[in-house]
């Protein structure tokens, strides 16, 4: 946790200065070193939660985040409570427990205000915006994202929280039909994440930017951004995002009249989607390949893919459906 490390450093420096001032008196007692066992334990628990979030094991992640928050509360680590409450909100939102997610983000916001940490406040406000967006309340989401941008702007242009808030505001703007404003926010977030080499976040920026440009009819520019998103996600090895990037590249290539390239992208999207257990992308790719096959003289391949699609649909009908994996704010 970033705030645990920074607070630990400042306290360690304070204790060192105190020890030096007392050393002048031979009878002065030794100052004990600061202890951060509980704070470090909370940071470790939170990291475990992050690992389960990456694996889409949201209930397990939530349990670790709650343990981390309890540890931070036990030593009155205000910044830690804010961060871990925000993480709880993220897991609850993924579980679609919207009321609980909102309560967690509100708690995070309260503790962020107590701590005076602008980054923590921005993170909580962005989370509240995400809950509103998930509920379909775009106006409230945009208002929250505006607050998140304002809070994060006080901490410097390179701040990750600002890049996240800008991206989120762009999503709400795009949903409101404000494409020019959305594109400006996506580009600002992209510049920050590119400079700091935050590859996964950069992939999300470029994917959203491609979507907005496509909505404006700028297909060539949108395709360039989709391929750039693919590059960033490959650097981050964001497997599930890569499958979606490939599908976007395929769709945009087809719109640009590049049918051979579209075929190759769809084939890669199918392989990638099935490798990460994303049957929706897999079926979408197969349907596109079947449609393209006659135009490219690939009738045999088209027939094979049609048979495969039938088998996938049959298997899907016999097994309980998994919740669709949602990439953050990606259409």
pLDDT tens digits, one per residue of 29-79: 554 455 589 999 999 999 999 999 988 899 999 999 999 999 999 999 999
pLDDT-derived band at 302, boundaries 50, 70, 90? very high
Q: Using pLDDT thresholds of 50, 70 and 90, give the confidence band for residue 319.
A: low
- Cα distances from 329 to residues 53, 131, 207, 240, 302, in angstroms, run 16, 11, 10, 14, 33
Q: In this structure, are residues 211 and 222 in contact, taking their beta carbons and an 8 Å threshold?
A: yes
Cβ proximity of 49 and 64 under 8 Å = yes
Give the helix/strand (H/E) hosting 40: helix 37-54
- Token pair belonging to 212: 């907005």
- The secondary element (H helix, E strand) that includes residue 80 is helix 78-94
pTM for the whole thing? Answer: 0.82
Report pLDDT for 33. 54
> pLDDT by residue (tens digit) across 15-25?
333 333 333 34
Mean pLDDT value across the chain: 88
153: helix, strand or coil: helix
- Residue 146: burial class (beta carbons within 10 Å; 0-12, 13-18, 19+): middle
The confidence score (pLDDT) of residue 330 equals 41
Residue 176 near residue 137 (C-beta atoms within 8 A): no
- Count how many residues are written for the chain: 331
pLDDT digits (tens, 9 = 90+) for 147-205: 999 999 997 766 899 999 999 999 999 999 999 999 999 999 999 999 999 999 999 99
Alpha carbons 111 and 84: distance in angstroms, whole number: 10
Q: Residue 30 phi/psi, 5° resolution?
A: -70, 140
The torsion of the CA quartet 38, 43, 47, 53, rounded to 10 degrees, works out to 90
Q: Report residue 314's pLDDT band, with 50, 70 and 90 as the boundaries.
A: confident
Comparing 313 with 147, the larger pLDDT belongs to 147
Tell me the HSE value of 6 on the side-chain side, using a 13 A CA sphere. Answer: 6
Query: What domains lie within the chain, and their CATH numbers?
Result: 239-318 (1.25.40)
Which residue has better confidence, 5 or 159? 159
pLDDT at site 219: 98
Which residues touch 293 (CB under 8 Å, ≥6 apart)? 299, 301, 302, 303, 305
Task: Return the SS3 of 256.
Answer: coil
pLDDT of residue 97: 98
Give the orientation angle of helix 78-94 with respect to helix 98-115, to 10 degrees.
160
Of the chain, the percentage scoring pLDDT greater than 90 comes to 80
Angle between helices 118-134 and 160-175 (to 10 degrees): 20
Residue 316 binned pLDDT confidence (cut-offs 50, 70, 90): confident
d(CA 275, CA 286): 14
Which is nearest to 240 in space by CA: 314, 322, 166?
A: 322
* CA 127 centroid distance within chain: 11
Residues 6+ apart with CB under 8 A from 98: 92, 131, 134, 135
Q: Residue 317 has which token pair?
A: 């009908």
* Span between the terminal Cα atoms of the chain, in Å: 30
Q: For position 155, what pLDDT does the model report?
A: 79
Q: Rounded to whole angstroms, how far apart are CA atoms 193 and 198? A: 5
| Rounded CA separation 36/141 (Å) | 37
Rounded to whole angstroms, the Cα distance separating 12 from 144 reads 36
Mean pLDDT, residues 105-115 taken together: 97
Q: Whole-angstrom Cα distance, residue 290 to residue 302?
A: 5
Q: Which segment of 17-31, 59-73, 133-147, 313-327 scores lowest on mean pLDDT?
A: 17-31
Is 186 within 8 Å of 170 (Cβ atoms)? Answer: yes
Q: State yes or no: pLDDT of 2 exceeds 80.
A: no
Helix (H) and strand (E) counts for the chain?
A: 15, 0
């Amino acid at each position: 946790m970033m705030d645990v490390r920074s607070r630990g450093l400042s306290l360690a420096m304070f204790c060192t200065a105190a020890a030096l001032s007392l050393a002048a008196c031979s009878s002065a007692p030794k100052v004990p070193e600061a202890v951060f066992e509980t704070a470090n334990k909370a940071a470790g628990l939170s990291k475990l939660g992050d690992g389960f979030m990456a694996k889409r094991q949201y209930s397990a992640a939530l349990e670790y985040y709650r343990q981390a928050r309890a540890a931070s509360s036990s030593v009155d680590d205000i910044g830690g409570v804010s961060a871990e409450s925000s993480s709880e909100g993220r897991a609850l939102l993924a579980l679609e427990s919207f009321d609980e997610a909102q309560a967690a983000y509100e708690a995070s916001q309260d503790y962020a205000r107590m701590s005076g940490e602008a980054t923590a406040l921005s993170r909580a406000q962005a989370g509240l915006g995400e809950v509103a967006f998930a509920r379909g309340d775009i106006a409230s989401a945009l208002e929250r994202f505006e607050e998140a941008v304002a809070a994060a702007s006080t901490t410097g242009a390179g701040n990750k929280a600002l890049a996240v808030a800008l991206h989120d505001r762009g999503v709400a703007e795009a949903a409101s039909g404000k494409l020019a404003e959305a594109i400006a926010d996506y580009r600002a977030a992209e510049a920050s994440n590119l400079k700091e080499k935050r590859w996964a976040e950069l992939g999300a920026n470029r994917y959203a930017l491609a979507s907005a440009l496509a909505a404006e009819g700028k297909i060539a520019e949108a395709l360039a951004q989709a391929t750039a998103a693919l590059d960033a996600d490959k650097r981050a090895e964001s497997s599930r995002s890569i499958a979606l990037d490939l599908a976007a590249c395929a769709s945009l290539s087809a719109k640009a009249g590049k049918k051979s390239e579209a075929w190759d992208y769809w084939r890669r999207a199918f392989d990638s989607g099935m490798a990460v257990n994303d049957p929706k992308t897999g079926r979408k790719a197969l349907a596109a390949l079947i449609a393209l096959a006659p135009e490219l003289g690939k009738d045999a391949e088209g027939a094979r893919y049609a048979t495969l699609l039938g088998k996938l649909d049959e298997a899907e009908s016999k097994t309980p459906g998994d919740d669709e994996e949602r990439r953050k704010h990606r259409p």
